[in-house]
Amino acid sequence: MIYLDNHSTTICDPLVVEAMLPWLTQDYGNPHSGHRAGVAAADAIDRSTKSVAKLIGASPETMVFTSGATEANNLAIRGVCLHPRQKRRHIVTVATEHPAVLDVCEDLKRDGFRVTVVPVIPAGSPKAGVVDLDRLADAIDDDTVIVSVMAANNEVGAIAPLYEIAELAHRHGALFHCDATQVIGRIPINIAAADIDLVSGSAHKFYGPKGIGLLVVGGGNRRVRLRPEIVGGGQQRGLRSGTMAPAMVVGLTRALEICSQSMESDRASVLAMRDRFWNRLRGGIEGVELNGPSLDGSERLVGNLNLRLASVEGETWMAAAPDVAFSTGSACSNVDPMPSHVLIAMGLSESEARRSARFGIGRFNTMVQIDRAADALIGAIDRLKKLI
């Protein structure tokens, strides 16, 4: 199996697993206990929190560890909107956000919130899939509580202009929440410099374990008041109760440290693999097109390739090339037979969206794998064409 679905999840780096193990089997104290075993675990969490905060331009006091980005997004948006002192009643988000943002906003309508969903730049433009800043500016008003825009899209890799978005949100006194799940560990982010109030992330997207993520609360210049979603023992400043998981926190941290050390070289090697892959597929599959931003600009994650076939559906392609792991949308919506909401939001027809497939190339891929995957994928299309 050649794994080219690194936007969905990534392998947990063996070095990360190694760093985690002692916190499961040797130093297994409850980090909230007062004895030596507990203090050792609490210290590990403390050191980890400081390290992660430094790597993303946040202060340690702003960090909350969650079960992943879904929980972080829920806590950020629901937490801000449902705080008892919140008077504003309008949410602004973007059509291509992850369901963990869109569905939260939709749900808040039942609590009396208005939601404006801003469009993205349509297909055909070099910035296809990037939020339309003019429309975003028009949408934000003095009743806007929060503006939620992702840092990079998980299907087409479109990267958002975070500094500009922060400025637009703050001009009206709204908070800026950024789902940075696809960016943390892949491209540098400095939350304080970009003045982003809330930032979500998830370790399994950057070679850490599944089941842990983070939310930065108050990463910018404004005070952020959150109503907690999970109450109980009052851990994590009361924002997320429950015994913290030292091994998971250490794993997330080690994963991010490794990503930060190798970010430049990873970017270069992933880019080289992406270019080779695209050139091979383009040469071997008639009529294949690119979805999303141009490959040569800075508006696209380098490991992302989202392709549209001339006559074969993505699902059919997947079935015909079972040795390559890729997807037809986000894994999270695979239970849902609808075509990708991201591609539809970019103006593609349902049929075009169904003829699309997403690839995510990562640090653990090799050029040999890229060539083998290209052979398998081109071969699959050739076989399918004979059947039509």
> Which residues belong to the active site?
332
Residue 362 engages ligand PMP in binding (rule: CB under 6 A): no
Q: Inter-axis angle of helices 36-56 and 246-284, to 10 degrees?
A: 40
Which range of residues in 63-71, 80-88, 262-270, 362-370 is near ligand PMP by CB under 6 A?
63-71
Residue 336 engages ligand PMP in binding (rule: CB under 6 A): no
Question: What is the rounded distance in angstroms from the CA atom of residue 212 to the CA atom of residue 18?
Answer: 17
Interface size with ligand PMP, residues (CB under 6 A): 14
Question: Residue 121, SS3?
Answer: coil
CB of 184 to ligand PMP, least distance (A): 10
Burial class, 202, CB count within 10 angstroms (exposed 0-12 / middle 13-18 / buried 19+): buried
Q: Comparing C-alpha atoms, which of 340, 371, 342 is closest to residue 355? A: 340
Residue 68 engages ligand PMP in binding (rule: CB under 6 A): yes
CB of 387 to ligand PMP, least distance (A): 32
CB of 227 to ligand PMP, least distance (A): 20
Residue 304 engages ligand PMP in binding (rule: CB under 6 A): no
**Closest CB to ligand PMP among residues 252, 374:** 252
CB of 27 to ligand PMP, least distance (A): 26
Residue 252 engages ligand PMP in binding (rule: CB under 6 A): no
Contact predicate 207/252, CB 8 Å: no
**Pattern 161-200, ligand PMP, x by CB under 6 A:** ------------------x-xx------------------
Which range of residues in 66-74, 191-199, 277-285, 292-300 is near ligand PMP by CB under 6 A?
66-74
Question: What is the rounded distance in angstroms from the CA atom of residue 301 to the CA atom of residue 154?
Answer: 9
Return the residues of window 202-231 that contact ligand PMP according to CB under 6 A.
202, 213
**Which residue is associated with the tokens 């993205």?**
120
Return the residues of window 91-150 that contact ligand PMP according to CB under 6 A.
98, 100, 150
Residue 332 engages ligand PMP in binding (rule: CB under 6 A): yes
Question: What is the rounded distance in angstroms from the CA atom of residue 376 to the CA atom of residue 369?
Answer: 10
Scored b (16 or more CB within 10 A) or e, 19-35 reads: bbeebeeebebebeeee
**Which residue is associated with the tokens 């103006």?**
347
